[in-house]
Amino acid sequence: MADISSNFLGIKSPNPFWLASAPPTDKKYNVLRAFEAGWGGVVWKTLGSQVKNVSSRYSAVDFGGQRVMGFNNIELISDRPLHINLKEIAECVKLFPDRAMIVSLMADNDKKSWHEIIKKVEDTGAHGFELNFGCPHGMTERGMGAAVGQDPEIACMVVEWVMEAATLPVITKLTPNVHSVVPTGRSVVKAGTNALSLINTIQSITGVDLDTLVPNPYVAGKSVFGGYCGPAVKPIALKFLTTIAQDELTKKVPISGIGGISTWKDAVEFMLLGASNVQVCTAAMKHGFRIVEDMCEGLNNWMDEKGFKTLDDFIGKSVDTITHWEDLDINYHHIAKINQDKCIHCGLCYIACEDTSHQSINLEYGKPYNKYTIKEEECVGCNLCMLVCPVDKCITMEEHRVAPEYVNWIEWQKRGLPLNDH
Amino acid sequence: MIQNNRLTPIQYQENFSDIHPPYENITAAKVDANRCLFCYDAPCMKSCPTSIDVPKFIKQIATENIKGSAHTIFTSNIMGAGCSKVCPVEKLCEGACVYNLLEEKPIPIAKLQRYSTEKAMANKWQLFQRKQSIGKKVAIVGAGPAGLSCAHSLSKEGIDVTIYEKESKGGGLMTYGIAAYKVTPQFCEDEVNYILSIGGIEVKYNHELGRTISLAELQTNYDAVYLGLGVGVARQLDIPGEDMDGVVDAISFIYHLRKNGYPSVPVGDKVAVIGMGMTAIDAATQAKRLGAKEVTMLYRRTEDEMPCTKHELDIAMLDSCEIIWLAAPKEVIGINNKVTQLVCSKMQLGEPDASGRRSPIETEETFSLEVDMVIKAAGQVPFEHLITENGITNNKGKIVIDKNCATNIKGVFAGGDAVNGGKEVVDAVQAGKDGAKAIMAYLNIA
Ligand SMILES: Cc1cc2nc3c(=O)[nH]c(=O)nc-3n(C[C@H](O)[C@H](O)[C@H](O)COP(=O)(O)OP(=O)(O)OC[C@H]3O[C@@H](n4cnc5c(N)ncnc54)[C@H](O)[C@@H]3O)c2cc1C
Ligand SMILES: Cc1cc2nc3c(=O)[nH]c(=O)nc-3n(C[C@H](O)[C@H](O)[C@H](O)COP(=O)(O)O)c2cc1C
Ligand code: SF4
Ligand code: SF4
């Protein structure tokens, strides 16, 4: 059995799965249920300025019959009285001393407010802070949340205030509502944050109701841009994560990966790309806390199969495989191959390639089943057919190097090698 | 004893309720619709005699475009609603679904088709706009699937159609032949009305070719004639005792049941059904559902050669009908002209015949069954006399047509069971479409 216990900035948890700061972590009742279910830690729902929420608050994107492929919300930070939150945090820490308790903060934009709230939270026995520089709605209009995260100078200033007062470790949570997370990341690392976490939600409209003609979620005939999360945002989160894991400065601090994680596989991918642990919100909101059981077991089995004994054995292992386009090997070539024994003759590979790719699949008419084969000379190895094929491992990509030697784009141009071959 | 009114009204209702219940709601339909892979040049579509664009109509259910879905179905098959209930889909579309190749359950295509078409019928969506009349007139004989499909296609193009139908209701064997637990009389009537709602089609019920009207009259009064008159009674067994009381023809038996209602149909205590086609299955299961205590089906060959599908056979077996393979009726024995026994020969299989099926050969052995009713369902006989009398070239009563659906008489076209000798509703619908196309070409309408 592999050891899946995690140590993030000295904060220990029995596994690397934390619940992200959001409704699942906004009161003692939920948090105790989460700990009982096995979650390694929680980031308590953001505390700070006093707010008032609206109704309704959530909306979702369904896809191909699956509910909640993407999720969005227009909720604000915690709308419960601060003293109750603080009391409950202290109680949870006492009842589950082995779990991580991080408290998310978003104070008004002045030093005094930040110092006050930090002091109050430190008295609860919590293990660390997460600064919410990411909420993209409601708080930004008041100069908080994403408004801070989008401006490296303001972010730097706030982190400096925090670091003056905090004795506990500080994680800064970044907003993805920027073209690059690196500038803010660098500036808060310089200001002294102990770690980074990302991503918060992405501004979005999930859809428009075709009867009322008002976008979702509906509030008295109007809507606003909401924060997008859930499985749909995972690829974007992974990209932002990798940029932080590769930057010379930001890679010096641990990263907590967030955004669209629903399974142990998703979690492993975040960790391979540099996250030391992960946080989950939407998946728990869709299925409840019980999903953590399979996350732990799946991670454990995968680590055993791969021979990884601890999380550190694989954290960051894939970061260096993301390179620049011009460094890719142009002599690498692979060609699709259809396993005729597995093929169910659905024709999806054919129509995809014929209509939208390189006309590299041959159709031999049959009634009722056509036979599909690859025209090897035409196939550019784009993967499209393999991606649309409904049968696992029916289409595989077989390596057929053009030449043994590694030649990248720069070298290719230097040598004046042929272009536009397809 | 042969008697009617064997059951209570509730029992009749239960026994003849829909065997394939529809989806409860759109969510349920979408679960299955979303499973469809949306195959290209889809095997299911190629296996449908009317070439319904199955992946397209299923995708349209998934996008909640139910009207579009119904339009897709009806464009290829105007009896798409009826077909969704009576087609032997396990050997057509669903049998070809690629999921079968993964040893997974195929997409329930018929059930999905029923969902869209029933919605269309219930809401009376008029999905086709008839072109303005172009002043051409076509007479159609028979308001069965072939005739109705031909009429709809022609009317859409602005041709004025008159259908002559000998019965008092339309639908043909859909209304008078097919098992009642597949389609209800009300459904058949609604379907006919829905098809006719396009306008431009007049149906003259209780008009029979050869009795109240003649082919010559039709030829004079119309620009073209289409014969979609189906096939007639069940084939004779040609064995001693066949004319005794208690020996009935499956077609008449079912016709009675469909026309006059279940309680009025007399059925025996112990019934033998001869044959293993769709009609035989329908007769056997319905005899059982009418209250017969024992029903035994006899077939000359084995399960490998049977004309019905495995699915149909399962229905009969689930209704606890006995099956005796390799048995042929030899003689009906009775007392006071009332059936008491059926003597059968045991058969064995010989060499494959012209159809490729191994032909049954009589052995010396016989056995006899105690029965009080024998239902004959060993195929149907075409209207040979009527057809020959009108000088129409035929093959043992089956009308002979060329590749343009034309008979030997100029301007007279034919299709459906009357030509193929008895296939499925879906084949008749396609025949009607082909006939309409041929008539359009004959009338020089682009
Ligand atoms: C018992 C039984 C069960 C069946 N079960 C199924 C099934 O489950 N699924 C399936 O797909 N198919 C089934 N079939 C076959 C299907 O019913 C036929 O293939 C289909 O109805 C043929 O259509 P048609 O229009 O060619 O002929 P028909 O449906 O026979 O229609 C012919 C019409 O012409 C009328 N007509 C006949 N003679 C004259 C005349 N001289 N003048 C005026 N009108 C006339 C008839 O009254 C009738 O309305 C079954 C058939 C039988 C007998
Ligand atoms: C309803 C809702 C409320 C949220 N509230 C907060 C919050 O108060 N503070 C915060 O830092 N992030 C908040 N988030 C963002 C989540 O913590 C997380 O970063 C985001 O949902 C991406 O993770 P996921 O894809 O697992 O949901 C909220 C998300 C949701 C869905
Ligand atoms: S997509 Fe896959 S299963 Fe479908 S035809 Fe192509 S190879 Fe066969
Ligand atoms: S073969 Fe099956 S999966 Fe493919 S389109 Fe037809 S119903 Fe859908």
Residues 6+ apart with CB under 8 A from A48: A77, A78, A105, A106, A107, A108, A113, A117, A132, A144
Residues A232 and A355 in one domain: no
* Total domains present in chain B: 3
Q: Is residue A402 within 8 angstroms of chain B, CB to CB?
A: no
pLDDT tens for A133-154 read 987 777 787 788 888 999 999 9
* Domain-ending residue, one of A269, A300, A321: A321
Same domain, B193 and B285: no
Contacts of B42 in chain A (CB under 8 A): 346-347
Mean pLDDT, chain B, rounded, equals: 94
B98 CA from centroid of ligand 4 (Å): 6
- Ligand 4 atom having least distance to the Cα of B35: 3
Q: Does residue A1 lie in a domain region?
A: no
- Give nearest CA residue, ligand 2 atom 2: A22
Q: Please tell me whether residues B259 and B359 are part of one structural domain.
A: yes
Domain that holds residue A126: 6-321
Backbone angles phi, psi at B263, to 5 degrees: -60, -25
Ligand closest to Cα of A348 equals 3
Interface test with B, best of A211, A338, A342, A346 (most B CBs within 10 A): A346
Residue A201 in any domain: the answer is yes
Distance of CA B369 to the CA centre of its chain: 30
On whether residue B400 sits in a domain, the answer given is: yes
Range of the domain at B41: 19-122
B31, B35, B40: residue with CB nearest A350: B40
Q: Could you tell me if B365 and B386 lie in one domain?
A: no
A269 and A345 belong to one structural domain: no
- A210-215 average pLDDT score: 97
Backbone angles phi, psi at A43, to 5 degrees: -110, 110
* End position of a domain, from candidates A321, A348, A367: A321
- pLDDT grade for A422, boundaries at 50, 70 and 90: low
Ligand 4 site, CB within 6 A:
A 346; B 36-39, 42-44, 54-55, 58, 97-99, 107, 109
Check whether residue B175 and residue B269 sit in a common domain: no
Domain co-membership, A269 together with A132: yes
A277 pLDDT more than 80: yes
C-alpha closest to that of B425 among B174, B51, B255: B174
pLDDT value at residue A391: 98
Same-domain pairing of B293 and B368:
yes
Q: Is the pLDDT of residue B301 over 80?
A: yes
Residue ranges with strand state E in B197-337: 201-204, 224-227, 247-249, 270-274, 294-298, 322-324, 327-335
Q: How far apart are CA B17 and CA A90, in angstroms?
A: 64
Identify the domain boundary among B376, B399, B420. B376
Mean of pLDDT values over A231-253: 98
Q: How many domains does one find in chain A?
A: 2
Q: Quick one: A309 and A365 in the same domain?
A: no
To test ligand 4's pocket by mutation, which of B58, B61, B90 has the most ligand atoms within 8 angstroms of CB?
B58
Residues B167 and B259 both lie in one domain:
no
pLDDT in tens, B129-156: 999 999 999 999 999 999 999 999 999 9
- B184 CA distance to ligand 4 centroid (A)? 29
Give me B12's structure tokens. Answer: 């009749």
- The CATH number of whichever domain residue A351 belongs to comes to 3.30.70.20
Nearest to A114 by CA among A74, A172, A41: A172
CA of A56 to the centre of ligand 4 (A): 39
Is residue A390 within 8 A of residue A348, CB to CB? The reply is yes
With beta carbons less than 8 A apart as the criterion, state whether B249 and B234 touch. Answer: yes
The per-residue b/e assignment along A169-186, b for 16 or more CB within 10 angstroms, e otherwise, is bbbbbbbbbbeebbbbbb
Same domain, B292 and B260: yes
Could you tell me if A350 lies within 8 Å of chain B, comparing CB atoms?
Answer: yes
**A289-346, pLDDT tens digit by residue?**
999 999 999 999 999 999 999 999 999 999 999 999 999 999 999 999 999 999 999 9
What's the CA gap between B411 and A124, in Å, rounded? 96
**By the 8 A CB rule, do B244 and B332 touch?**
yes
Which residue out of B30, B38, B39 would a mutagenesis test of the A interface target, given it has the greatest number of A Cβ atoms within 10 Å? B39
Nearest to A171 by CA among A53, A84, A254: A254
| Residues B280 and B347 reside in one and the same domain | yes
Pairing outcome for strands B412-414 and A6-8? unpaired
Task: Find where tokens 């044959």 sit.
Answer: B275
Tens-digit pLDDT profile for residues B47-79: 999 999 999 999 999 999 999 999 999 999 999
Residues A269 and A384 in one domain: no
Residue of A397, A398, A393 lying closest to A342 (CA atoms): A393
Per-residue pLDDT, averaged over B252-264, amounts to: 87
Closest among B314, B338, B175, B183 to B266, alpha carbons compared: B338
Residues A306, A370 within the same domain: no
And the tokens for B212?
């109240």
Nearest-10 Cα torsion for B189, B193, B195, B201:
120
CATH number of the domain residue B318 falls in: 3.50.50.60
Mean pLDDT of the region B358-363: 88
The CATH number linked to B88 is 1.10.1060.10
- The Cα–Cα gap between A285 and A306 comes to 31
Strand, coil or helix: B124: coil
Task: Judge whether A81 lies within some domain.
Answer: yes
Is A184 among the domain residues? yes
Q: Point out the domain boundary residue: B376, B403, B425.
A: B376
pLDDT at B446: 74
Q: Are residues B369 and B303 both part of a single domain?
A: yes
pLDDT for A393: 97
Q: Which atom of ligand 1 is nearest to the CA of B377?
A: 1
Give me the long-range contacts of A368-375 (CB less than 8 A, separation at least 24).
Answer: A368/B43, A368/B44, A368/B46, A368/B47, A368/B96, A369/A345, A369/B43, A369/B96, A370/A345, A370/B41, A371/A340, A371/A345, A372/A338, A372/A343, A372/A345, A372/A347, A373/A338, A374/A335, A374/A336, A374/A337, A374/A338
Please report the pLDDT score of residue B271 as a whole number. 95
Tell me whether residue B95 is in a domain. Answer: yes
Same domain, B333 and B433: no
Q: What is the CATH number of the domain that holds A160?
A: 3.20.20.70
pLDDT of residue B257: 87
Query: Within a domain: residue B159?
Result: yes
User: Is A101 inside any structural domain?
Assistant: yes
The ipTM of this complex is 0.88
Closest-CA residue of A relative to B30 is A65
Residue nearest to atom 38 of ligand 1 (CA): B229
Residue B10 has pLDDT above 70, yes or no: yes
Three-class HEC string of B238-264 = CCCCCCCECEEEHHHHHHHHHHHCHHH
Do A196 and A271 lie in one domain? The reply is: yes
Pick the ligand that lies closest to the CA of residue A104: 2
Active site residue A346: no
Residue found under tokens 């006059």: B260
Domain boundary among B376, B393, B424: B376
Task: Return the pLDDT at B195.
Answer: 98
**Residue A420 domain-assigned?**
no
Which pLDDT value is given to residue B248?
92
CA–CA–CA angle A302, A303, A306 (5° rounding): 85
**Same domain flag for B272 and B363:** yes
Note the pLDDT tens digit of each residue in B17-39. 777 789 999 999 999 999 999 99
Which is more confident, B66 or B177? B66
